[in-house]
Amino acid sequence: GLSTGACRPLTAFPSAALSEVAYAKINLALHVRRRRDDGYHDIESLFAFAEDGDRLHAVTRDDGQLSLTIDGPFGAGLDSGADNLVVRAAHALKNAFNITVGAAIHLNKRLPVASGIGGGSADAAAALRMLARLWAIDRPMHALAATIGSDVPACLVSRTLMGTGRGEALDLCAIDGLGGMPLLLVNPGIGLSTAPVFAGWDRVDRGPLVADTLDALIAEGRNDLYPPAVALVPQIGAVLESLAAQPGVRLARMSGSGATCFALFDDSAQRDAAAAAMPAHWWTLSSRVRA
């Protein structure tokens, strides 16, 4: 065999890193129906996903440990310890299936944190998909995902879904014309936690979400968290007004508990023009609705 100092046995090489996209989540509509005794709210929400998002990578660790490193435009200041949802998801999966190998995970944080577009939930879900491949787990992860956060099951699927309960009870939704639609996300650069926004909901049930067509979703859909969110962060009002005023907008709405707002377009050139018209200090992401 080879005995030159430059060559080593193939088994000593690190396995190729797996990668996964944590697709940005949007709530095309979010109807809050009821405050529950457990503190959560029963919602009806149409989830959709952008084609773009955070990026995760992983390699196995033979010592059985889990580790997380973070970089990217929104990585600074993000906790990479045991409280990080990626780490919590990884530990939960490892324990649930008695996995002895570990993983070194890397998160490239490209989406603003605490911004209503999945963030930690999408990262946790992407970690579950990626580690299931790394560890050759071929079992349902929905229930495990729901223990990490209400939106993690939807993010696990990352397709257009109707979510009920606290958002974790899911049905696949086919809405004609939605997949591939040009999409613009805009955030004013102010973080907003989910709990205080739900706590500010006025407890008025404004009715169910019936979203069988795109036109019904646009005409009848609401985000009931918009009033409490804009009360906490008035800049959301400016973002939504700016988006709604752009030529070619089919729908402009706040996503989740904010502060990110989104707009749907029929034409990608109009989306690009809208993105260019936003103030430079606002974060924007031009993408499409994931089919």
Binding-site residue numbers for ATP are 112-122
Separation of alpha carbons 81 and 157, rounded Å? 26
Separation of alpha carbons 258 and 154, rounded Å? 17
Name the residue with tokens 């490209």: 110
The site that binds ligand C5P (CB under 6 A) totals a number of residues, namely 12
203 binds ligand C5P (CB under 6 A): no
Quick one: which segment of 22-30, 40-48, 65-73, 225-233 binds ligand C5P (CB under 6 A)? 40-48
198 binds ligand C5P (CB under 6 A): yes
151 is catalytic: yes
Name the residue with tokens 């029963």: 42
Task: State both tokens at 100.
Answer: 């002895």
Task: State both tokens at 3.
Answer: 């005995």
Pick the catalytic residue from 25, 52, 54, 109. Answer: 25
Q: Report CA-CA distances (Å) from 173 to 63, 163, 200, 233.
A: 42, 10, 29, 32
Counting runs of H as helices and runs of E as strands, what totals does the chain give?
9, 10
Least spacing, CB of residue 187 vs ligand C5P, in Å: 18
256 binds ligand C5P (CB under 6 A): no
119 binds ligand C5P (CB under 6 A): no
41 binds ligand C5P (CB under 6 A): yes
Separation of alpha carbons 144 and 128, rounded Å? 9
DSSP of 137-196, one letter per residue? --S--HHHHHHH-TTHHHHHH-S-EEEETTTTEEEE---TTTTT-EEEEEE-S----HHH
Task: State both tokens at 131.
Answer: 């580690």
Q: Looking at residues 146 to 175 of the shown chain, list those that interact with ligand C5P (rule: CB under 6 A).
A: 149-151, 166-167
Residue 41 or 94 having the CB closest to ligand C5P = 41
223 binds ligand C5P (CB under 6 A): no
25 binds ligand C5P (CB under 6 A): no
3-class state of residue 42 by DSSP: strand
Pick the catalytic residue from 52, 54, 123, 151. Answer: 151
118 binds ligand C5P (CB under 6 A): no
Least spacing, CB of residue 244 vs ligand C5P, in Å: 26
37 binds ligand C5P (CB under 6 A): no
Least spacing, CB of residue 167 vs ligand C5P, in Å: 5
Which stretches of the chain bind ligand C5P, using CB under 6 A?
39-41, 43, 149-151, 166-167, 194-195, 198
Q: Which residues are catalytic?
A: 25, 151
